[in-house]
Structure 1
Amino acid sequence: MSPNPVALITGASRGIGRAIADELAPTHHLLLGGRDLTALAHLSSSFPSAEPFAAELRDAGQVAAAVAGIPRLDVLIHSAGVLRMGAIAELSDDAWRESFEVNVFAVASLTRALLPALRAAGGQVIAINSGSGYTSGAGSAVYSGTKFALRAFTDALREEERPNGVRVSSIHPGRVATDMQEELHAWEGRDYRPEAWIRPDQVAKGVRLAVDATREAAVESLSIRPSGIALG
C-alpha cells in the first residue's frame, strides 16, 4: 500500500467521480469504485497510485468482500448515484426503490462497513449531494427525496462521529456538465449546452477544499451553484 493517504471514490469512472480522482491523484492512493473490474483496472493504470474497488454497492456480500481488503482509509467519497425523473403519478415502485437503494441505502451500508477504518485513521466522509438536497419541484420528487435523505444521513453521521474523530462533509453542486445532465435535458426537452453548467473539476476542487482542511476545521456543507453568467 502506498504511504500516501488512501481515498475511496465511488462512481469513479465518469463524471464528478472521475474529476475527483483526477484532483486527488497527486496526493492520494486511490481506490476507484465501480462495478466493471476490467474498466477500473484500466483506469487505475492511468494514475500514479490506484487500484480498483469493484463491487455492486447494493450487494452486501460484494461490499463485505471488497471492504475486507482495505487496511486503512483516510477519505470515503460517495459519488455514485442515479437520476430518475418523473411525475409522482407516473413513477413506478421500482424507480423509487432503485433510487433510494443506490443514492441512500448503499451509501449508508458502505459507510457503516468502513467506519472502523475511518475512525482508526481520523478520516473523512464526503458525500456528493445536490442542489436537489435543499429544494424540490415538479418531476423531481424521487431524486430530491433521495438527496434530502442523504442530507439527513450526513447531518446525523457528522454529529455521531465527532467524538470518534471522523469529519463529514456534504457537497451540494447545482447542475454539472456530465452525461447525467445531458440525459436530464433530453427528459426536459431542452437543448444541452455544457458550457452553461458547472464543470466537474469545479466540484472536485470543492472536495479538495474539504480534504485539505486541517484537523481543527471541517467543511461541513458546501453549495456550488451555476453562476448564470453568459459565457462565450
Structure 2
Amino acid sequence: MVPPPINGDTPPSGRLAGRVAVVTGASSGIGYAVALELAAAGAAVLATGRDRAALSRLAGAAAHRGLAVRVHPAEITAAAGRERLVETARNQLGDISILVHSAGVYHSGPMSLASLSDLDDQYAVNLRAPYALTQLLLPDLTRTAGDIIFVNSTQGLAASPEVGQYAATKHALRAIADSLRAELGSKGPRVCTILPGRTATAMQKRVFELEGRDWDPEGLMQPEDVAAMVLSVLELPRRAEVTDIVMRPARKVS
C-alpha cells in the first residue's frame, strides 16, 4: 500500500518511497534525526515520543523541508499507548515496513546506591516497551518483508562501572534482537542492532555532567551520523542482512 500524501501533496519519491516507518524516541537526539533522514529518503514516517512540544518542533522542521513526518505523542511503556500508536500508524499510513527503536532512558550509580526504581524505569523503557511494540507490529513487518532496527549502545557490548542497570537492559535488548532474528529466518523482517558510542545528545550531555566532564559535543558522533547508518541498512538489497553495527567517535572518548 502506498501511503497517502500529507496535506494533499504529491506522493513522496526517493529511495524509501512507498515504505512506512515508525520511529520511537523521536522527541530528540538520534530518534529525531532518524525520523528526518527516513522522510528525506521518501518514507512516510510516524514519529513518537513523550515530549509533545519537541514532537511539534520535529513536525515543523519536517514541514519546512517538505517531508512526510507525522507525529504522535505516546507513552509506549503503557499497553494503551502502544495500541493507540499502532492503530494511528495503520490508519494514517498503512502497513508498517520499518520499525526503529530509539527510545531510551539512562540512570547511573554504584550498585550499593543505585535505586530499584531506576532499574524498573530502565527496564520498562529500554527493554519491555520495544519488546511489546515489536510484538504488536510483527504482522505488518512480516507481511511487508520489513526491517526492525534496535538503536542500542556500546554498553550493550561491555558494561562500564556504575552503569550496570543501564548496560543490563542493553545487553538484554541485543539478546532479544538476536533471538528474534533467528526465529524469523529468511521469511520475516530483517533485524539489525546498531550500537553507537558517545553521541552528542541530551542524554549524553547528562552523562558528561554525571561524570564531571566538560561538555564537548564536537568531539562526539552526531545523531545524524547514526541516522545515516540506519538509512544505509534499510537501503541494502533484501539478499543482504546486517546484524550488528558498532559505531564510535573517531576521537577516542573513554
Say yes or no: TM over 0.5. yes
Measured against aligned partners, the alpha-carbon deviations of 1:178-219 in whole angstroms (never above 9, x if no partner) come to: 111110011011111111111111111110111111110011
Residue 82 of structure 1 corresponds to 105
Q: Supply the AA of the counterpart residue of 1:7.
A: A
Matched-pair contact (CA < 8 Å) for 1:23–1:208: yes
Where has structure 1 moved over 6 Å in runs of 4 or more?
none
Supply the distance in 1 between the matched residues of 2:166 and 2:29 (Cα, whole angstroms). 18
Q: Find out whether 1:17 has 2:36 as its counterpart.
A: no
Distance 1:122 1:226, change over 3 A: same
Matched-pair contact (CA < 8 Å) for 1:209–1:219: no
Question: Which residues of structure 1 form unaligned runs of 5+?
Answer: none
Matched-pair contact (CA < 8 Å) for 2:26–2:35: yes
Q: Which of 51, 59, 63 lines up with 2:70 in the alignment?
A: 51
Matched-pair contact (CA < 8 Å) for 2:74–2:82: yes
TM-score after normalising by structure 2? 0.86
Correspondence 1:133-144 to 2 at 5 A:
133-144=156-167
Correspondence 1:162-173 to 2 at 5 A:
162-173=185-196
Q: Supply the AA of the counterpart residue of 1:125.
A: I
Question: Which residues of structure 2 form unaligned runs of 5+?
Answer: 5-10, 12-17
Residue 148 of structure 2 corresponds to 125
What SS class does the counterpart of residue 115 from structure 1 fall into?
helix
Supply the distance in 1 between the matched residues of 2:135 and 2:115 (Cα, whole angstroms). 29
State the Cα RMSD in Å: 1.6
What SS class does the counterpart of residue 203 from structure 2 fall into?
helix
What SS class does the counterpart of residue 169 from structure 1 fall into?
strand
Number of residue equivalences = 230
Correspondence 1:1-232 to 2 at 5 A:
1-2=3-4, 4-26=18-40, 27-37=42-52, 39-47=54-62, 48-69=67-88, 70=90, 71-228=94-251
Distance 1:37 1:199, change over 3 A: closer
TM-score after normalising by structure 1? 0.94
Matched-pair contact (CA < 8 Å) for 1:41–1:51: no
